[in-house]
Amino acid sequence: GQPIRLSDYRVPDYLVDAVDLDIHLHETATRIRATLQLRPNPAGVAGAPLHLDGDGLVATAIALDGEPLPLGIAEPERLTLAEPPRRAFTLMVETLVDPSANSALMGLYRSGSAFCTQCEAEGFRRITYYLDRPDVLSVFTTRIEAERAVAPVLLGNGNPVAAGDVPGTDRHFAVWHDPHPKPSYLFAIVGGRLDVLRDATTTGAGRPVDLAVYVEPGKTAQAAYAMDALKRAMHWDERVFGRAYDLDVFNVVAVSDFNMGAMENKGLNIFNDKYVLASPELATDADYAGIETVIAHEYFHNWTGNRITCRDWFQLSLKEGLTVYRDQEFSADQRSRAVKRIADVRALRARQFAEDGGPLAHSVRPDAYSEINNFYTATIYEKGAEIIRMYRTLVGPEAFDRGMALYFDRYDGTAATVEDFLGCFAESSGRDLSQFFRWYVQAGTPRVTATTRYDAATRVLTLDLAQDTPPTPGQPVKRPVVVPLRFGLVRRDGTEQPVRTGAEAGLSATEHDHGVIELSTPSRRLRFEDVAPGTVPSLLRGFSAPVRLTTDATDADLVTLMTHDEDAFNRWDAAQTVLSRLVLAGLRGGPAEPAPLRAALSAVIETGARDPAFAAQVLTLPAVSELAHEIGRDVDPDALHAARERVRAGIGTMLAPAFRAVLAAGRNAGPYAPDAAGAGARAFRNAALSLLAAGDPENGAALALAQFDGADNMTDRLAALSVLGLVPGAAREAALARFYSDFADHALVVDKWFALQAAIPEADTPERVRRLMEHPAFSLAVPNRVYALIGGFGANPTQFNRPDGAGYDLVASVVILLDGKNPQVASRLLGAFRSWRLMEPGRRAKAEAALRRVSGQPALSPDVKDIAARSLG
Ligand code: HT7
Ligand code: ZN
């Protein structure tokens, strides 16, 4: 269809004051009676026709103020009242839907034996006709009725107000009322046979809140960590942002069929069970961290998304970027702040920079879209979160806190825009933030270059900074953005060189006080006086802006930063830069010996006893996909992967004794606990194991096999299996077979087994993946299975990007096969092609042919059509 444009936004002509829903759940014929209290919007067009959105709906009855209307006014995609009353009126519509036939998992559908809903972005219109747009806020009351045996649990938004049996039948009902006006995308119900883990908390103001996590029967023990994370998130939001919960109950439901991670429906969060269920035997440390993050994220939406929602979907980052920022801060407070930052930046560079540098690049506030479901992206979420972090860096923590408080105060109960949000910080700081707004409207990752010149005679260090943003689709010309560069000067002896303010340095007093250079022009020169020889500027500390920074630092300078920088993020980043330089040098046929890093890496390993999580991050090289973006063109991923493995092998060999000592020391580790300390120690040992195995595969495989056999937790077991995964042979296949037979009953663990095999960098992997698609545990109908096996394969740099095109063909074929059933999952899989233009010409031609095969299919969904077209465009 036609793209939707921000410039076409108009206020709705009608408002809905109240919605009453009466839902009779049935596996194949659920009846929904919706009674809407409507009135003309004084700000809209008087006497305009009323168009309610539908998506594949069938109406069985319609009445206006109690008078029946002809069913002909309802088509599958819309219901029209040509001349609605010019006063408040009541519209009743009855629809009939088949949840069992709903394979797209949008609207009302079945997951296992439960009924559940997913309404964001436009799923409510698959349940009933409605003004399905986020700026229409209404008070919802929902009555749900079902056979008691089919659905003993009946949940809705808000507070429970009534429940009971339907006399003379085997049916029962529950009534839920949500006093907070909300848009339809936050509506939800759940019905089914579910077990529940209960708990309770009290807000600072004394409101008691009943908490519940609903899971498939028999799994409540696996919900304990999610419940714990929920309570911590609730307390944190009160303490840090002053936001308290606002209902009597908070329910979380875990389902196994879900297109994304989770959904923040008011008072009734629905989760992909992957982000709820955990036990030491079945979940890894990364899974636990993911649960903590996603539970917090959905809970935090209660204020950033629900109480204050988005005026339209162009404002999606208003809630998503801000809520990601909040969950990142929460996790940073729960764990190591530096390590959390490193992990977030690694993910940002891998996913968001890749998106921003390819054909799917779009701005954080797009001005047009053809399929909103395709805009739940790393740019909206992660780059959006970086923008929030930059506000804080620029205006300082106090003005940031005042701006947030102003936002909550002023916009509570409304549907807001990113301009509204920015206005709060302009007001709280007294600053003009109009140039800063470019971060929302300009796509692409800005490049910042730093060039230094040191004059030994005058002891003056000159720093020249420059910025530019490469063109992105539809935005050929870019303007300079405001780049906050947190910085310091590190002397060769490790001490911090004091920085002076004043005209000679070119730094403003604010910049000096904040320790932040604001680069808002194409270039800028700074002069630092009385600087000791060998002093290195440390720029972009804490990754203070989402940019690609290139400096003229020598390897020795980087080792200085790696060893001495007071900023842990930059210590890590300096190491990453040296390591990626090594890989790229090896790729060009030059020497790629890690010897110059021996002392610095040894020191990292030594400090690993104190900060193992940080050490593990230093010992993990940039991913092939990240290195590919650094190279920028004509990439041969086989050669790149091989060069990266050679560097890993070199480090593994050079530091083998130290790594063996790390492994030996870990043998006495106590019982498993999913806390930051335990997770850090395991990450460190497993990084050591992985590098040892890179240096000496035979010995590494033996060590990995021993760890695989002896592990008492999934983290160590899976880490060992992935090391084995890189060593072809019978031992690997036997371990894989044993892993499957031990965990065949645990679908989320079987997903790890699928993903691990899909990641094997060997020529027969496509064949293996095709075979696994026939495995009884695989199903194209379950998003988690598809993401694990096909999504996992799409992230395999050498096999997805095979020179013969077989990898591209495999993913393209699955996309085509899946599109008719679940367009959202199909279009996410197609995202694997986001970096195809980086490849050398042979691969590029194969990728393009596969994309053309997809785009040439008849009857494609809007989701896949949009991604295919933009990928080729
Ligand atoms: N706000 C939620 C988005 C979401 C979603 C969007 C489209 C299709 C299915 C979906 N499930 C969840 C998730 C979040 O950011 O919290
Ligand atoms: Zn979200």
Question: Tens digit of pLDDT for each residue in 224-261?
Answer: 999 999 999 999 999 999 999 999 999 999 999 999 99
Cα angle for residues 120, 121, 125 (degrees, 5° grid): 90
Ligand 1 atom 6: the closest Cα is on which residue? 120
Residue type, 155: L
What's the residue count for the chain?
873
Residue 486, SS3 per DSSP:
strand
Q: How many A from CA of 373 to the centre of ligand 2?
A: 13
What is the 3-state composition of the chain as percent helix, strand, coil, each rounded to the nearest 5?
Answer: 45, 20, 35
Q: How confident is the model at residue 477 (pLDDT cuts 50, 70, 90)?
A: very high
Interval 650-664: pLDDT, tens: 999 999 999 999 999
Q: Does the Cβ of 399 fall within 6 Å of ligand 1? A: no
What pLDDT, on the 0 to 100 scale, is given for residue 165? Answer: 98
Q: ipTM of this predicted complex?
A: 0.98
Q: How many CB atoms lie within 10 A of CB 872?
A: 16
Helices (H) and strands (E) in the chain, counts: 31, 31
Residue type, 362: H
**Separation CA 133–CA 682 (nearest Å):** 46
Q: How many A from CA of 650 to the centre of ligand 1?
A: 43
Residue pair 473/873 in contact by the 8 Å Cβ criterion: yes
In the block, tokens 């780049």 appear at: 483
Question: Which strands, in side-by-side order, build the sheet including 189-192?
Answer: 107-111, 114-118, 189-192, 153-156
- Token pair, residue 58, equals 């069938």
**Separation CA 716–CA 685 (nearest Å):** 9
Q: Does the Cβ of 121 fall within 6 Å of ligand 1? A: yes
Q: Does the Cβ of 320 fall within 6 Å of ligand 1? A: yes
Torsion of CA 108, 114, 118, 123, to 10 degrees: -10
**Separation CA 778–CA 755 (nearest Å):** 12
Q: How many A from CA of 91 to the centre of ligand 2?
A: 32
With 0-12 / 13-18 / 19 or more C-beta atoms within 10 angstroms meaning exposed / middle / buried, residue 64 is: middle
- Token pair, residue 733, equals 């296949």
Interval 597-612: pLDDT, tens: 999 999 999 999 899 9
Ligand 1 atom 12: the closest Cα is on which residue? 263
In the block, tokens 């519509």 appear at: 93
Q: Does the Cβ of 188 fall within 6 Å of ligand 1? A: no
- Report whether pLDDT(669) > 80: no
Catalytic residue among 94, 145, 216, 298, which?
Answer: 298
Residue type, 767: E
Report which of 115, 80, 83, 123 is spatially closest to residue 99, judged by C-alpha positions: 115
Q: How many A from CA of 379 to the centre of ligand 2?
A: 13
Strands in 774-871 per DSSP E: none
Return the ligand 1 atom nearest residue 264 CA: 16
Q: Does the Cβ of 117 fall within 6 Å of ligand 1? A: no
**Separation CA 601–CA 615 (nearest Å):** 9
Q: Using most ligand atoms within 8 A of CB, pick from 263, 268, 304, 787 the residue to mutate for ligand 1.
A: 263
Return the ligand 1 atom nearest residue 320 CA: 15
Q: How many A from CA of 833 to the centre of ligand 1?
A: 22
Residue pair 187/157 in contact by the 8 Å Cβ criterion: yes
Residue type, 504: E
**Separation CA 155–CA 176 (nearest Å):** 8
* Mean pLDDT within 435-456: 98
**Separation CA 251–CA 256 (nearest Å):** 17
Q: How many A from CA of 38 to the centre of ligand 1?
A: 28
Q: Does the Cβ of 259 fall within 6 Å of ligand 1? A: yes
Q: How many A from CA of 301 to the centre of ligand 2?
A: 7
β-partners of residue 536 are 490
Q: How confident is the model at residue 504 (pLDDT cuts 50, 70, 90)?
A: low
**Separation CA 739–CA 750 (nearest Å):** 9
Q: How many CB atoms lie within 10 A of CB 18?
A: 14
Task: Give Cα separations from 674 to 198, 234, 596, 613 (angstroms).
Answer: 21, 20, 36, 13
Residue type, 183: P
In the block, tokens 């019905």 appear at: 191
What pLDDT, on the 0 to 100 scale, is given for residue 178? Answer: 99
- Report whether pLDDT(28) > 70: yes
- Report whether pLDDT(503) > 70: no
Interval 273-299: pLDDT, tens: 999 999 999 999 999 999 999 999 999
β-partners of residue 182 are 138
Residue 549 has φ and ψ, to the nearest 5°, of -100, 130
Interval 144-171: pLDDT, tens: 999 999 999 999 999 999 999 999 999 9
Q: Using most ligand atoms within 8 A of CB, pick from 182, 376, 381 the residue to mutate for ligand 1.
A: 376
Interval 64-101: pLDDT, tens: 999 999 999 999 999 999 999 999 999 999 999 999 99
Q: How many CB atoms lie within 10 A of CB 870?
A: 18
Q: Which residues of 203-237 are buried (b: 16+ CB within 10 A; e: fewer)?
A: eeeeeebebbbbbbeebbebbebbbebbbbbbebb
Residue 153, SS3 per DSSP:
strand
- Report whether pLDDT(725) > 90: yes
Q: What percent of the chain has pLDDT over 70?
A: 99
Residue pair 360/872 in contact by the 8 Å Cβ criterion: no
The full 3-state SS of 250-267, as one line of letters, equals EEEEEECCCCCCEECCCC
Q: How many A from CA of 151 to the centre of ligand 1?
A: 25
Return the ligand 1 atom nearest residue 376 CA: 6
**Separation CA 402–CA 424 (nearest Å):** 8
In the block, tokens 């408002």 appear at: 15
Q: Does the Cβ of 264 fall within 6 Å of ligand 1? A: yes
Q: Does the Cβ of 126 fall within 6 Å of ligand 1? A: no
What pLDDT, on the 0 to 100 scale, is given for residue 501? Answer: 65
- Report whether pLDDT(667) > 90: no
With 0-12 / 13-18 / 19 or more C-beta atoms within 10 angstroms meaning exposed / middle / buried, residue 107 is: buried
Ligand 1 atom 15: the closest Cα is on which residue? 320
Q: Does the Cβ of 317 fall within 6 Å of ligand 1? A: no
What pLDDT, on the 0 to 100 scale, is given for residue 720? Answer: 98
**Separation CA 307–CA 413 (nearest Å):** 5
Ligand 1 atom 13: the closest Cα is on which residue? 263
What pLDDT, on the 0 to 100 scale, is given for residue 483? Answer: 98
Q: Does the Cβ of 298 fall within 6 Å of ligand 1? A: yes
What pLDDT, on the 0 to 100 scale, is given for residue 478? Answer: 98
Q: What domains can you pick out in the chain, each with its CATH number?
A: 1-193 (2.60.40.1730), 197-303 (3.30.2010.30), 309-441 (1.10.390.10), 447-552 (2.60.40.1840), 745-873 (1.25.50.10)
Ligand 1 atom 3: the closest Cα is on which residue? 263
Q: Does the Cβ of 25 fall within 6 Å of ligand 1? A: no
- Token pair, residue 787, equals 């993401």
- Report whether pLDDT(502) > 70: no
Q: Does the Cβ of 294 fall within 6 Å of ligand 1? A: no
Distance of CA 853 to the CA centre of its chain: 29
Q: Quick one: CA dihedral 100, 275, 360, 837, positive or negative?
A: negative
* Mean pLDDT within 302-328: 99
**Separation CA 702–CA 122 (nearest Å):** 52
Known active-site residue 298: yes
Q: Which long-range contacts (CB under 8 A, 24 or more apart) does 498-501 make?
A: 499/528, 500/528, 500/529
**Separation CA 142–CA 144 (nearest Å):** 6
Return the ligand 1 atom nearest residue 824 CA: 8
Interval 93-130: pLDDT, tens: 999 999 999 999 999 999 999 999 999 999 999 999 99
Q: How confident is the model at residue 505 (pLDDT cuts 50, 70, 90)?
A: confident
Residue pair 851/868 in contact by the 8 Å Cβ criterion: yes
Return the ligand 1 atom nearest residue 301 CA: 16
Residues 6+ apart with CB under 8 A from 840: 634, 635, 636
